[in-house]
């Protein structure tokens, strides 16, 4: 029931947010956003969520992939820039989102979050606490959105990566966050004691469940991220990489001015000092 309320609430918010003049979504964006809500619904409802809670690491991995590789990019792509500009306007949110839109911080953050939410203590705590389980789902969604932020540009005022840079970033993202799966493959015993009943429900042992989880994690992550990276590489090779001549949008200019204003306020520069400095610079002779 909570999942239905969440999804309907998300759709209602989207409908209202995209009715604002200048924030309308295209038909393609609306369809993609609906797909994102669909991925979210499947991941958080029966049977995936129930089996992920107490029974199977394989279903936990499947749930996480639905969130990170399905729901997160679809929700991000389907939300118009004007809407995300409003959501990220508060200075604290803008500071965090701006940093996470850069490849290195995004890679580090995604790796840490996906590792922390998949280790045995986290899974054990989630199996016995609804609050912890909800918290881990939120962190997983944050990891998914962070993963895609450098590729799907939704934070205004940040430099856009070239298609080649985006492709290289996605290849790196496919490798770093999946390193925990090596432990699942080479471990000599099941690592998740809180997950039981795999043979009764799924028909295979806990060890097989753990090893299949590793293969599923790598297969889906590599398959999706490498496919997108290949498309980006191919587009760049065809000369369609438009990052360099990407048109300047007003939201980018506005966000840059807001950041400059905050920086000057922190530095103690008043508007009068700024105008005086600008006048002095414009009046100085060229050397």
Q: What is the pLDDT of residues 126-167, one digit of tens each?
A: 999 999 999 999 999 999 999 999 999 999 998 889 999 999
Alpha-carbon span 53 to 249, nearest angstrom: 45
Find the distance separating the first CA and the last CA of the chain, reported in whole Å: 71
**Which token pair is 87?**
């959501």
Provide the pLDDT confidence category of residue 251 given band limits of 50, 70 and 90: confident
For residue 287, name the pLDDT band (cuts at 50, 70, 90): very low
CB 55 within 8 A of CB 198: yes
Average of per-residue pLDDT across 173-180 = 86
Taking 90 as the threshold, does the pLDDT of residue 278 lie above it?
Answer: no
Chain centroid to CA 83: how far? 16
Confidence of residue 234 (pLDDT cuts 50, 70, 90): very high
Q: Which region, left, alpha or beta, applies to residue 247 given φ > 0 means left and ψ of -120 to 50 means alpha?
A: beta
Distance CA 246, CA 159 (A): 10
Q: Is 55 exposed, middle or buried (0-12, 13-18, 19+ CB in 10 A)?
A: buried
- Residue 145 CA to residue 137 CA, distance in Å, equals 12
Query: Of 195, 220, 67, 41, which Cα lies nearest the Cα of 126?
Result: 195
The pLDDT assigned to 252 comes to: 85
Provide mean pLDDT across the span 263-268: 82
pLDDT of 38 reads: 98
Name which residue leads in pLDDT, 176 or 132: 132
Q: Taking each helix axis from N to C terminus, what angle separates 91-100 and 250-267, rounded to the nearest 10 degrees?
A: 110
Per-residue pLDDT, 138: 98
189: Cβ–Cβ under 8 A, 6 or more apart, which residues? 207
User: pLDDT digit string (tens) for 29-64?
Assistant: 999 999 999 999 999 999 999 999 999 999 999 999
Whether the predicted model's global pTM rises above the 0.85 cut: yes
CB atoms within 10 A of CB 111: 20
Structure tokens at 155: 């934070």
Q: What percent of the chain has pLDDT over 70?
A: 91
């Amino acid at each position: 029931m909570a999942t239905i309320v969440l999804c309907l609430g998300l759709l209602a918010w989207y409908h209202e947010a995209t009715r604002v003049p200048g924030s309308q979504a295209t038909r393609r964006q609306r369809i993609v956003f609906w797909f994102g809500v669909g991925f979210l619904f499947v991941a958080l409802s029966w049977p995936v969520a129930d089996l992920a809670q107490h029974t199977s690491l394989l279903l936990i991995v499947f749930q996480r992939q639905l969130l990170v590789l399905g729901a997160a990019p679809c929700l991000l792509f389907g939300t118009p820039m004007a809407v995300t500009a409003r959501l990220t306007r508060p200075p604290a949110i803008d500071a965090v989102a701006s940093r996470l839109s850069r490849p290195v911080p995004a890679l580090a953050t995604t790796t840490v979050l996906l590792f922390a939410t998949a280790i045995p203590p986290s899974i054990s705590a989630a199996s016995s606490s609804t609050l912890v389980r909800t918290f881990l789902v939120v962190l997983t969604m944050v990891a998914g959105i962070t993963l895609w932020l450098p590729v799907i540009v939704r934070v205004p005022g940040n430099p856009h990566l070239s298609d080649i840079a985006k492709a290289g970033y996605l290849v790196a993202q496919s490798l770093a966050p999946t390193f925990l799966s090596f432990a699942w493959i080479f471990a000599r015993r099941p690592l998740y004691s809180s997950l039981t009943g795999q043979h009764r429900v799924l028909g295979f042992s806990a060890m097989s469940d753990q090893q299949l989880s590793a293969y599923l994690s790598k297969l889906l992550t590599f398959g999706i991220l490498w496919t997108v990276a290949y498309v980006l590489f191919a587009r760049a090779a065809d000369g369609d990489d438009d990052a360099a001549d990407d048109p300047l949008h007003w939201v980018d200019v506005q966000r840059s001015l807001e950041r400059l204003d905050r920086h000057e306020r922190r530095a103690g520069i008043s508007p009068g000092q700024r105008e005086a400095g600008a006048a002095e610079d414009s009046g100085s002779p060229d050397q």
